[in-house]
Structure 1
Amino acid sequence: MLGEALRVAVPIGLVTSQMRWFRNVQELVPQPYLDEVFHVPQAQAFWKGNWTHWDDKITTPPGLYLYSILVNKIYKFDSDSSDLTAYDLRWTNVLLLYLMLLALTVLSLLTSKDAPRERFLQREYCLVAFPLFFFFSGLYYTDLFSAFTVICAYIFWQAANQAEGFPKIMFQLLHLLSGLLSLASRQTNIFWVAVYLGGLQAVAAIKKDTRIHDPAIADAYFEDLPITIISLVTSALNTIPKLLLDLWPHLCLLGSFGAFVFWNGGVVLGDKTNHVATIHLTQMLYIWPFIVFFSWPAMLPQFANLRSLMHRRPRLWVVVATILPMTAIVHYNTIIHQFLLADNRHYAFYAFKILRSASWTWYALTPVYAVCAWLSIQALGSRPSFTGAPQTASSQGRRLSTSSGGRDSTASESDVNRMSFLIIWLVSTALSLVTAPLVEPRYFIVPWLMWRLHVPDIAEVIDEHQEAGLKDKSGMAQVEKVLTTLVKGSLYIEFAWCMLINFVTCRLFLFNGFAWPQEPGLVQRFMW
């Protein structure tokens, strides 16, 4: 009974909260704010037919503006209004939030056909309630459109791998077109629509003909990481012609991106002096606390079996081998962009203000990065109902080799996240983050989204574990029973956590404005 009530309350709470957020923004902040000062006039210029105008402060391509113009052309079809207001443009981002929900649902149907019906859409509501999605659905920013186009490319890629013959070619073509649209929204999407999906495609193609070392994440040790990489590379070298045939959409996307960079003289479109690509490895440390902060309820299932979790804890030498390089990265490659310290309207400003309060704080956080990374990776290692690998008939039931020593997974290819996925995700995340000198939470959105999509829903496993523990009367078992009960509601906890963050951040933005001494009377607002 409670479950049914919650399933009804979640969508109602999401919709009413989002609509109220949008309405309050229009009432209290009717004029373009912060980056909207660049985006709104640019879209308005295109709306009026001035296609040659471009604001040099805008760094991303015009995909969002074209989408907004198309939506408003349809919406204003019978209207005499010739103006395009900030409200009209912000409204298209509201629509994007629900288009994102639709796209995530389609992707879930393609990849989680056997998911329990009572949990249908629960994860998708959590995803669209993600604080950065929710917050920017009320403003005219590029982030929602960028993430939406990546999901569209993911859908067509997954559909192509489940089709044969002419439908397969059509879906591959749609993947290419949606990938180009994604690149037209944000340049770094190349690492997700081409490198990430191409990597998964290559692994799936290799496994059709070759038995490779690719253990499940739950079964793997640290040393399996380099062994899997070597196994993949050597196997790929033997199947290059076949891989080129399978990867033609991804190669076309890479070629298109390369042509754009050559034509543009760089990756960013405008404000190139303040957006110079650099090596910023600490970005790969910051992402782990980001993931844990927003998605800790999704990690609760691994605590349902404490004994198994303790068994999977890293060995001492692995801890040392992880923390030492992290410390070196912090010492030699911590970069603080001038924008980060110049704008106290963003939460990142205050996070780095705390870090800069004492020199030791930078190094004290390295164990935190390590623990957060371990928790995030362990969350991927549970038995899933979602897999990022193409679900083709030839891969169903395939057993893959694991490392030497007799460890052999009994799970099928479509039942687990494997080391190859972790490697591809890490590579794609690194490529999209480490060249950015500015620490910006919005840069972490797509890496987080791909991670969260692959965190398994293990409700059935939890039920099995609970039944198996009924006869166990030990203290550990009693604790596990409590945790198991909590875990079964983890998606509702995750949704509530996201909405709590949304309530706090949206209220701060709307009602806790402040003024800069150099700009008296102008309200400044806190935001991501």
Structure 2
Amino acid sequence: MAPPWCWQHDAGIVGLALVTFSVCQVAFLLHPPEVYMDEIFHVPQAQRYCKGHYYEWDPKITTLPGLYIVASTTFVPVLRLITDHACEAVPLRLLNAVFSLITMAVMVALLRRRMGFNQAAAHAATMWLYPSSFFFTFLFYTDPGSTFFVLATIWLVQEAAFETAVLASPGWRVFAAALTSAGAIMFRQTNAVWCAFILGTALLQQLQALSPLTLLTVPRFALAIAANAGPLFWGLWPLLVPLIGFAVFVLANGSIVVGDKDHHTSALHLAQLAYCAAAAASMHISVGVNEGAISTATLRDFVVFMKRRCASRSRIVLSAAAAGLCLVALWKCSLAHPFTLSDNRHYTFYVWRRVLGRSVLHRCLLLPVYIYAAWLVLSRVTVVRSSLWVLMFTVVTALVLVPSPLIEPRYLNIPVLIAHLNSPQRSAKSLLSTALACALVNLVTVWVFLEKPFRWPDGSIARFMW
């Protein structure tokens, strides 16, 4: 039987990712667009920091100043060795290219615990091409840095946990993880929830080493943490520091949002979970392979799963009740933020206008697709992770996404990437198919953004983007 992996395929996938990145980066450098969309806030704020004006703040900015601190204190000083224009828009955008490349290296390191280097590199390169994450590599946004710091924290904590089952005292990796955790929060406040998730999964791993736990023993999990809080937290206490600091900030600020609070209020947007499931499942779509999202084998497994859900009258009632709740969520909790309805520069404007927002019936008819997508993603994660880990991941994803009334594909980046980084190894053919599709989407998206601008009625230039 031929091995499922071949180094030529692995190298081809990595090469495809790097070529796509290079082409897009050169296009942005040769035809740099004007400061655009959220950059009209981020670039001037970074320039204030470059001048040392740390107390000047744009009240429209909603995030903490992590991006501007990193740019002004580390990246720009290095660039000034090359150019006197280091704090202008085009050079500042290169910071995210650096973040993006390092993020791919971190993903390789995360996957190396479960597979060889070549396979890990191919998997990471495919995830690196995930379109809504990849696009913002070339703009001065908070997303690439946010993703890097979250994944770096996961890697550092996992490496520390692999050294010993139960950490007797915090090592340098835990202290480093506390710093990257603080960095993650400074780039985006909702990352505090992911940092809490990382701490929770580390505690779970330590408890699993002491006593096997399953989804049926959730109360015992909580009791075990309480009973062993001292020794468990002693090895991980540095991770609590940024979380406590963030809690103090929220109490003092009265909100997790820094500025523009009127347009960034929380809501009950349960449909976000459906969108996240669909986005994560899209990265499993492969042509001509049994493990693909729409292959015969995968569909057969789904049918078997549904039959088990309906194996008895009680299970039928529970499944029908769950489906009914999902329908109510799609009916009552599919929200359209004013920004979504009014801004035709985003692809989500057209998705809402032509599909999701046409009628309640259109939204509800998509329920089987969402159920299938959620099953596909979570069933594959459970191959690698315990049921308790999956439950924690699902709850944290909901805590991050559901309060947001705004439909933004980039808000889904971190949960989608974490789900795939904790999924089983895929064949080279599957990865290559996904990578090719992502590369094509990325090239078209960047081309449309750079080469197909249009004018708004006021005469200003507008560009299509995620």
TM-score, scaled relative to structure 2: 0.89
Q: CA deviation at 1:43?
A: 0.6
Residue 507, structure 1, aligned to residue 444, structure 2: no
Q: Which residue of 2 is the match for residue 449 of structure 1?
A: 417
1:429-440 alignment runs, 5 A limit: 429-440=397-408
Q: Structure 1's 300 and 55: CA in aligned 2 closer, same or farther, altered over 3 A?
A: farther
1:18-167 alignment runs, 5 A limit: 18-69=21-72, 70-77=74-81, 79=83, 81=84, 84-109=87-112, 111-112=113-114, 115-163=115-163
1:213-362 alignment runs, 5 A limit: 214=214, 225=215, 227-297=216-286, 301=291, 310-313=303-306, 314-316=308-310, 317=316, 319-354=319-354, 355-362=356-363
Answer with 419-428 or 276-285: which moved more: 276-285
Q: Which residue of 2 is the match for residue 393 of structure 1?
A: none
Aligned-partner Cα distance in 1 for 2:280–2:390: 15
Confirm or deny: 8 A CA contact 2:178 2:241 kept in the other structure.
yes
Q: Structure 1's 362 and 311: CA in aligned 2 closer, same or farther, altered over 3 A?
A: closer
Confirm or deny: 8 A CA contact 1:160 1:167 kept in the other structure.
no
Q: Match of 2:409, as an amino acid?
A: P
Q: CA deviation at 1:3?
A: 4.5
Confirm or deny: 8 A CA contact 1:210 1:235 kept in the other structure.
no
Q: Percent identity?
A: 28
Answer with 131-140 or 201-210: which moved more: 201-210
Q: Which residue of 1 is the match for residue 364 of structure 2?
A: 363
Secondary structure of the 1:135 match is helix
Secondary structure of the 2:411 match is helix
Aligned-partner Cα distance in 2 for 1:258–1:526: 37
Q: Which residue of 2 is the match for residue 481 of structure 1?
A: none
Post-superposition CA distance 1:355-411 (Å, at most 9, x none): 2223311221222211211111122234xxxxxxxxxxxxxxxxxxxxxxxxxxxxx
Q: Which residue of 2 is the match for residue 527 of structure 1?
A: 465
Unaligned runs of 5+ in 2: 311-315
Residue 496, structure 1, aligned to residue 436, structure 2: yes
Q: CA deviation at 1:117?
A: 4.9
Confirm or deny: 8 A CA contact 1:35 1:141 kept in the other structure.
yes
Secondary structure of the 1:14 match is helix
Q: Match of 1:427, as an amino acid?
A: V
Equivalent pairs counted in the alignment come to 448
Aligned-partner Cα distance in 2 for 1:17–1:527: 17
Aligned-partner Cα distance in 2 for 1:204–1:436: 30
Aligned-partner Cα distance in 2 for 1:304–1:454: 23
Q: Structure 1's 488 and 77: CA in aligned 2 closer, same or farther, altered over 3 A?
A: closer
Q: Which residue of 1 is the match for residue 182 of structure 2?
A: 180
- When Rg is computed on C-alpha atoms for both structures, the one with the higher figure is 1
Q: CA deviation at 1:253?
A: 2.6
Aligned-partner Cα distance in 2 for 1:309–1:334: 26
Q: Structure 1's 100 and 268: CA in aligned 2 closer, same or farther, altered over 3 A?
A: same
Aligned-partner Cα distance in 1 for 2:237–2:357: 47
Q: Match of 1:364, as an amino acid?
A: L
Q: Match of 1:525, as an amino acid?
A: R
Aligned-partner Cα distance in 2 for 1:341–1:98: 34
Q: Match of 2:201, as an amino acid?
A: L
Confirm or deny: 8 A CA contact 2:61 2:258 kept in the other structure.
yes
Aligned-partner Cα distance in 1 for 2:230–2:413: 34
Q: Match of 1:84, as an amino acid?
A: C
Q: Match of 1:357, as an amino acid?
A: R
Secondary structure of the 1:137 match is helix
Q: Structure 1's 311 and 363: CA in aligned 2 closer, same or farther, altered over 3 A?
A: closer
Secondary structure of the 2:291 match is helix
Aligned-partner Cα distance in 2 for 1:432–1:312: 28
Q: CA deviation at 1:24?
A: 2.0
Secondary structure of the 2:171 match is helix
Q: Structure 1's 89 and 158: CA in aligned 2 closer, same or farther, altered over 3 A?
A: same
Q: CA deviation at 1:438?
A: 0.9
Q: Which residue of 2 is the match for residue 190 of structure 1?
A: 192
Confirm or deny: 8 A CA contact 2:133 2:144 kept in the other structure.
yes
TM-score, scaled relative to structure 1: 0.79
Aligned-partner Cα distance in 2 for 1:39–1:426: 31
Q: Which residue of 2 is the match for residue 205 of structure 1?
A: 206
Answer with 340-349 or 198-207: which moved more: 198-207
Q: Structure 1's 74 and 279: CA in aligned 2 closer, same or farther, altered over 3 A?
A: same
Q: CA deviation at 1:291?
A: 1.3
Post-superposition CA distance 1:108-153 (Å, at most 9, x none): 33x22xx245524100111211112321111111100000001111
Q: Match of 1:363, as an amino acid?
A: C
Q: CA deviation at 1:489?
A: 1.2
Aligned-partner Cα distance in 2 for 1:276–1:359: 24
Aligned-partner Cα distance in 2 for 1:191–1:148: 15
Q: CA deviation at 1:106?
A: 2.4
Secondary structure of the 1:278 match is coil
Post-superposition CA distance 1:396-439 (Å, at most 9, x none): xxxxxxxxxxxxxxxxxxxx421011111011101111111111
Q: CA deviation at 1:61?
A: 1.1
Q: Structure 1's 305 and 24: CA in aligned 2 closer, same or farther, altered over 3 A?
A: closer
Aligned-partner Cα distance in 2 for 1:91–1:448: 24
Secondary structure of the 2:44 match is helix
Unaligned runs of 5+ in 1: 215-224, 383-415, 459-486
Secondary structure of the 2:190 match is helix
Aligned-partner Cα distance in 2 for 1:91–1:202: 37
Aligned-partner Cα distance in 2 for 1:334–1:128: 29
Q: CA deviation at 1:309?
A: 5.3
